[in-house]
Structure 1
């Protein structure tokens, strides 16, 4: 039987005031995705900490969400490493290149560590699914907490050092080229779920920019089935509806 949350864990949409870093399509995308994975890994650790260890349906929901988040972040890092940072570097003035090279090198080392932790989390999740024991559940919750802490530090450094450069120097045309070239192994349903995660507590400005960057078919799919499917998935996972 699905557990009921003792309190609703519902994010609050962020205010629409613009942050210090100017919001461009690339920055808006980075910001809403970062916010979503920060929130979801932290929430996942909390949800797992009181989940019944031997409830196979609940275990499947939580470990399945962890798997989705991990795949999203691994693919996101690959896109940044292979497409986004090279595009940024091509457009930097000479005076910014040395500092950017150092920042990207720092990002690369942190991203490699985080990617390793995400793969370890998948292993711990499978162990809980097979064992169904309290120690296995606790190991999964601890792994989620470690990932959440590392995600927070990694993304804070990226937002401090690299998003301002994206804001100032990456042309919108280059961002569109990166978006077109990026690939994903997510199913259509998974992509709509991730879109819901990104939209949920985004500011009005970032939400508008994200939606504007989608294809007309994706926007239609979100309106017709995506929003409803996302709400049902969130209620099942959290025991409370999404914020928006």
Structure 2
């Protein structure tokens, strides 16, 4: 999904749990799957990390609450681009998809409210430094991990096959040009690193090849090191790759 440049241009086919085998490979589908996989993994991990965290450790609290807020903002932006750009483009190409798109709107409205609630809970923990506030963030992450898993699985069954079959490369290019990512440059670099973690060698090469040369250079010189350092702070161990 168009949330940062690495996903705008990657043509990689990306596996996702529960994805039907007949989803056609396309840049739009690949981008959706990459983002889905990232947020499912990170929300589940974050719930575990928060559960074990000391509530009054200021440095630990800062790292965890910032990551929670980043994930919430990332997924909210993802949904906004789908709502305002991607699904309208799909409906122009395939009007019969309207019932499935309307069902998506109904499901995601509640999910977006929970995502905003996670950001609020994270801010409250950062201020209160209490066990109660930490537990609220942990429960919010657990709830969202289950909800996002169910919602993305449904989307991958109901909408991604239509996206792969009907959305033209030109229409997808229009979506990516119109999307404006609200994340900072450093946040986008971190999200790129998170997306690359689960990618196979071929998919990593394709993902990086879709970036402007200046962005690839920045990733190699600075971004990769910062991503590793952030992951070590969060998880207590380096990323798998």
Deviations 1:213-234 (A, max 9, x none): 3222222222221111111110
Give the equivalent residue in structure 2 for 1:37: 39
Which runs of 5 or more structure 2 residues have no equivalent in the other structure? 1-13
Residue correspondence of structure 1 range 231-242 to structure 2 within 5 A: 231-242=228-239
Which of 119, 122, 125 matches 2:122?
125
Deviation at 1:206, TM superposition (A): 4.1
Question: Is residue 2:161 matched to residue 1:164?
Answer: yes
- In the alignment, the residues of structure 1 paired with residue 174 and residue 238 of structure 2 have an alpha-carbon distance, to the nearest angstrom, of 35
- TM value normalised by structure 2: 0.88
Residue correspondence of structure 1 range 191-202 to structure 2 within 5 A: 191-202=188-199
Residue correspondence of structure 1 range 154-233 to structure 2 within 5 A: 154-233=151-230
Give the equivalent residue in structure 1 for 2:240: 243
The secondary structure found in structure 2 opposite 1:240 is coil
Deviations 1:29-79 (A, max 9, x none): 111111000000010000000100110110110010000011111111111
Which of structures 1 and 2 has the larger relative contact order (alpha carbons within 8 angstroms, sep 6+)?
1
- In the alignment, the residues of structure 2 paired with residue 150 and residue 123 of structure 1 have an alpha-carbon distance, to the nearest angstrom, of 18
Change beyond 3 A, Cα 1:185–1:130: same
- TM value normalised by structure 1: 0.87
Question: Is residue 2:117 matched to residue 1:115?
Answer: no
Give the equivalent residue in structure 2 for 1:145: 142
- Is the contact made by 1:28 and 1:206 (CA closer than 8 Å) also made in structure 2? no
- In the alignment, the residues of structure 2 paired with residue 35 and residue 144 of structure 1 have an alpha-carbon distance, to the nearest angstrom, of 16
- In the alignment, the residues of structure 2 paired with residue 20 and residue 41 of structure 1 have an alpha-carbon distance, to the nearest angstrom, of 27
Deviation at 1:176, TM superposition (A): 1.5
Deviation at 1:132, TM superposition (A): 1.1
Deviations 1:133-187 (A, max 9, x none): 1121111101110111111111111111111111111111211211111001111
The secondary structure found in structure 1 opposite 2:239 is coil
